[in-house]
Amino acid sequence: MGRTIKKSAWLLMLLALQAAAFAQKVAKALDIAKLKEDFYVYTTYGSLDDGSRFPSNSMYIVTGAGVVMIDVPWDTTQMLPLLDTIERRHGQKVIACISTHFHADRTAGLDMLHARGIPTYAIERTRVLSRGREGRMPQHTLPEDTTFRAGRHRIRVFYPGPGHTTDNIVVWFPDDKVLYGGCFVKSTEAKDMGNLEDADTRQWPASVRKVQQAFPDAAYIIPGHGSWAGNHSLSHTLKLLRRDEAAGKKK
């Protein structure tokens, strides 16, 4: 009987460890952090070619009119959990989603939003580049520099020129001094420029300077990947671009 009790205790401990490991895995699939009042940055994890998992930042804003998403979960399995969490936590539904460029970490699973009746938006450049990519076509077109209001929040969509892609935009919240840079902006912890497959590194520096001139008083700058601590991501992006340019000239 003593052996049976010990065996049962061991099995219970093993099950508890497995449950804890599963809970940690689920928790890591979707992380939501409060940036400031009404602003939340959420992080999901996409799979790279080498099998590793890489974090991707997106954001949502709680307004009196409903919740506005900026970009989508890279991990599409987290789309519905995110929508359910938003509704449960804030008592509001998502009323719109803006994609900041055509890559999968910004457009994957848009069809899931459409199925729930949530309208999706992007500039025309992004819609053109998204054509033929299943589930990733934004429904509506935004002007390349436009400001609109959702509840008390003013939201400005701004196309600075080519950079990470030829269609990348940033989103500015003038009343809160929040700049969502997406993949156009590198985190201050970034050691390199990352995925340059569709980048225009020659024009990217000029595009960054346009953003710096347009929004010089940004208190928060949210990059597409990595930490958003500090507000020096734009200058860090320029530093990396200059370093790569100098390295290219030496070759």
Give me the residue label for tokens 């509506």: 140
Active site residue 105: yes
**Strand pairing category for 30-36 and 39-47:** antiparallel
Q: Which two tokens stand for residue 58?
A: 């997106």
Catalytic residue selected from 164, 167, 168, 236 = 164
Q: Strand 220-223: give its sheet, edge to edge.
A: 145-150, 153-158, 170-173, 178-182, 220-223
Active site residue 195: yes
Q: How far is CA 224 from the centre of its chain?
A: 5
Nearest CA to 144 out of 123, 121, 168, 114 is that of 123
Q: Which residues pair with 28 in a beta bridge?
A: none
Active site residue 164: yes
Active site residue 168: no
Catalytic residue selected from 38, 71, 75, 105 = 105
Q: How far is CA 141 from the centre of its chain?
A: 19
Q: How far is CA 34 from the centre of its chain?
A: 14
Catalytic residue selected from 195, 200, 231, 244 = 195
Catalytic residue selected from 38, 57, 75, 103 = 103
Question: What are the residue numbers of the active site?
Answer: 101, 103, 105, 164, 195
